[in-house]
């Protein structure tokens, strides 16, 4: 073990320069002018997988962006880990709010800044580098590994379900490992055991057949922006609850034990509000912030537009207004059912003065993973060795829709081993990965693969 950790120490600079190359590729999945970069990025990963000793490296096409696959199956009798990650990133706008350019990795104050540093390229590279260290120092791995790195996670993984269905045999494994979430806080490693689901909708409101002079027509026609904002405003009541009938019907209530466990976590609502720059927190009455974000469903307006938004004033009564709405979901809500419920409700409350169209963009189910599995036990031991501290257990508010699908389609439980931080600015300007977490993550990766066979082989032994 010493020599492997020493190898990591002596290769730190090279690891960072490889991360810089990886982050320089603007693999934005939602913008088609970046399709070439997506291909470049898939190729970069495939080449990299070969250099760390992975076999059967393939760039596998899908109707959307390609999946990069590889395997190392030289440990007969040992468990097989399916490592999932994503190489696509979110758009970078607003660009002027970045302190350094989003695709030029820059280290400041112990943080590695770039789009994708935490979400998820940096976390993918963590395991590549852990595997490289094991391979270079021992010539083998303690476990079998299959890797599936996709390019459409940030746009809802629309093609991944089919990909998994069509490649069941290829992907056959014993457990899934994902590093695409955060630690509880700096210096506080954690195991994440639940993610929220998602339903994402777009609303189009149509009023008059053309933009109108607001003086000549204002007062006689319902402004579509007004109609839309009236509808959206009515979706929450004064207690911060969503007003759509049936919205909470399938919500699995929090147990007393879980609420108590959340209360014991080192979290201050005051500090949280201060760090976010809000005067007061807001949310569903009767729940703490951690409960609201981790275990309660929400409805958010992600964007709203229409009319004149350019420089100066223009007196216009617009023909159209739009909004994007998303719901974060918890077990046992179903994404498709909620999307239909929201659509039906919007159509019901839409005034007769306008026309409304609702489009379902994408969705995914919430996940809860067992915390007593062999994989989680190995992860706990690995985090303790990698970061020198016992991890705590937490949930997350974000979504990784494939987690539930891995269970449904392949029967696999997932270990969520996150190395990001809650304030990492994922999806916003100045995204970063903490440099200590990058190297702590690499050490943890090595320990995880080393520990796993032991816990795996003892997994059925009952505690006496």
- Minimum CB separation from Zn ion for residue 130, in Å? 19
Q: Which does 364 bind (CB under 5 to 8 A by kind): ligand BES, Zn ion, none?
A: ligand BES
Q: Which does 399 bind (CB under 5 to 8 A by kind): ligand BES, Zn ion, none?
A: ligand BES
DSSP assignment of 141-190 equals -SSEEEEEEES-GGGT-TTHHHHHHHTHHHH--SEEEE--SB-SBTTB-E
Q: Is 213 helix (H, G, I), strand (E, B) or coil?
A: strand
Judged by CB under 6 A, does residue 424 bind ligand BES?
no
Q: Which stretch binds ligand BES (CB under 6 A): 2-10, 175-183, 225-233, 378-386?
A: 175-183
Q: Which positions ≥6 away from 397 have C-beta within 8 Å?
A: 196, 293, 294, 328
DSSP assignment of 374-419 equals HHHHHHHHHHHHHHSS--EEE--SS--THHHHHHHHH---EEE---
Q: Cβ distance 35 to 61 under 8 Å?
A: no
Q: Which stretch binds ligand BES (CB under 6 A): 38-46, 151-159, 205-213, 404-412?
A: 151-159
Residue 153 appears among annotated catalytic residues: yes
Judged by CB under 6 A, does residue 396 bind ligand BES?
yes
Residue 358 CB neighbours (<10 A): 18
Which residue lies nearest ligand BES, judged by its C-beta? 398
Shortest CA distance to 125 belongs to which of 187, 233, 44? 44
Place of tokens 């050490």: 443
Q: Which stretch binds ligand BES (CB under 6 A): 35-43, 285-293, 381-389, 397-405?
A: 397-405
Q: Which positions ≥6 away from 1 have C-beta within 8 Å?
A: 446, 450
Residue 453 CB neighbours (<10 A): 17
Helices 435-457 and 121-138: angle between axes, nearest 10 degrees: 60
Q: Which stretch binds Zn ion (CB under 5 A): 143-151, 179-187, 429-437, 442-450?
A: 179-187
- Minimum CB separation from Zn ion for residue 450, in Å? 26
Structure tokens at 112: 């590695």
Judged by CB under 5 A, does residue 451 bind Zn ion?
no
Exposure string (b/e) for 119-152, b if CB count within 10 Å is 16 or more? bbbbbbbbbbbbbbbbbebeeebbbbbbbbbbbb
Judged by CB under 6 A, does residue 88 bind ligand BES?
no
* Euclidean distance between CA atoms 123 and 23, whole angstroms: 12
Nearer to ligand BES, 183 or 442 (CB): 183
Q: Which does 156 bind (CB under 5 to 8 A by kind): ligand BES, Zn ion, none?
A: ligand BES
Rg (CA), the chain: 24
Nearer to ligand BES, 205 or 367 (CB): 367
Judged by CB under 5 A, does residue 180 bind Zn ion?
yes
Judged by CB under 6 A, does residue 130 bind ligand BES?
no
Judged by CB under 6 A, does residue 400 bind ligand BES?
yes
Nearer to ligand BES, 370 or 388 (CB): 370
Structure tokens at 218: 């204002």
Nearer to Zn ion, 71 or 120 (CB): 120
Candidates 71, 120, 150, 153; catalytic one: 153
Binding-residue pattern over the window 321 to 360 for ligand BES, x denoting contact by CB under 6 A: ----------------------------------------
Candidates 88, 132, 150, 180; catalytic one: 88
* Euclidean distance between CA atoms 176 and 164, whole angstroms: 13
Judged by CB under 6 A, does residue 151 bind ligand BES?
no
Q: Which does 198 bind (CB under 5 to 8 A by kind): Zn ion, ligand BES, none?
A: ligand BES
CA distances from 342 to 295, 349, 362 (A): 20, 11, 14
Binding-residue pattern over the window 97 to 136 for Zn ion, x denoting contact by CB under 5 A: ----------------------xx----------------
> Which residues of the chain form contacts with ligand BES (CB under 6 A)?
119-120, 153-154, 156, 180-182, 195, 198, 362, 364, 396, 398-401
- Residues carrying an active site annotation: 88, 153
């Amino acid at each position: 073990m010493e020599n492997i950790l020493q190898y990591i120490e002596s290769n730190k600079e090279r690891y960072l320069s490889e991360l810089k190359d990886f982050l320089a590729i603007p693999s934005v999945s939602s913008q088609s002018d970046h399709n070439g970069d997506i291909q470049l990025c898939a190729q970069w990963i495939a080449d990299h997988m070969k250099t760390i000793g992975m076999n059967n490296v393939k760039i596998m096409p899908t109707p959307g962006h390609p999946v990069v696959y590889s395997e190392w199956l030289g440990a007969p009798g040992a468990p097989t880990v399916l490592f999932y990650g994503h190489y696509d990133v979110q758009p970078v706008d607003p660009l002027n709010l970045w302190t350094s350019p989003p695709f030029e990795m820059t280290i400041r104050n112990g943080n590695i800044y770039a789009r994708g540093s935490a979400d998820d390229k940096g976390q993918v590279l963590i395991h590549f580098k852990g595997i490289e260290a094991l391979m270079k120092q021992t010539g083998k791995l303690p476990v079998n590994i299959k890797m599936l790195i996709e390019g459409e996670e940030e746009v809802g993984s629309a093609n991944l379900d089919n990909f998994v269905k069509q490649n069941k045999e290829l992907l056959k494994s014993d457990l899934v490992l994902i590093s695409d979430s955060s630690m509880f806080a700096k210096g506080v490693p954690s195991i994440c055991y639940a993610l929220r689901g998602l339903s994402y909708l777009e609303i189009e409101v149509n009023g008059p057949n053309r933009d109108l002079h607001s003086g000549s027509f204002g007062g006689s026609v319902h402004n579509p922006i007004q109609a839309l904002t009236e509808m959206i405003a009515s979706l929450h009541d004064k207690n911060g609850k969503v007003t759509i009938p049936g919205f909470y019907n399938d919500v699995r209530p929090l147990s007393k034990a879980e609420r108590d466990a959340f209360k014991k976590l080192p979290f201050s609502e005051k500090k949280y509000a201060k760090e976010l720059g809000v005067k007061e927190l807001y949310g569903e009455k009767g729940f703490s912030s951690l409960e609201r974000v981790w275990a309660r469903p929400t409805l958010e307006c992600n964007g709203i537009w229409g009319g004149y938004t350019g420089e100066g004033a223009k007196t216009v009564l617009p023909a159209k207004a739009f909004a994007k709405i998303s719901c974060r979901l918890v077990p046992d809500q179903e994404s498709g059912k909620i999307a239909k419920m929201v659509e039906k409700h919007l159509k019901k409350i839409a005034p007769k003065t306008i026309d409304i169209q609702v489009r379902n963009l994408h969705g995914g189910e919430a996940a809860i993973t067992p915390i007593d599995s062999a994989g989680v036990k190995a992860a706990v031991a690995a985090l303790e060795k990698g970061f020198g501290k016992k991890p705590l257990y937490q949930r997350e508010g974000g979504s990784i829709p494939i987690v539930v699908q891995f269970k449904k389609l392949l029967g696999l439980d997932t270990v969520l081993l996150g190395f990001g931080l809650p304030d990492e600015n994922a999806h916003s300007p100045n995204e970063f990965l903490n440099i200590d977490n990058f190297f702590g993550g690499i050490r943890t990766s090595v320990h995880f693969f080393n520990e796993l066979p032991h816990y795996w082989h003892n997994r059925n032994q009952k505690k006496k």
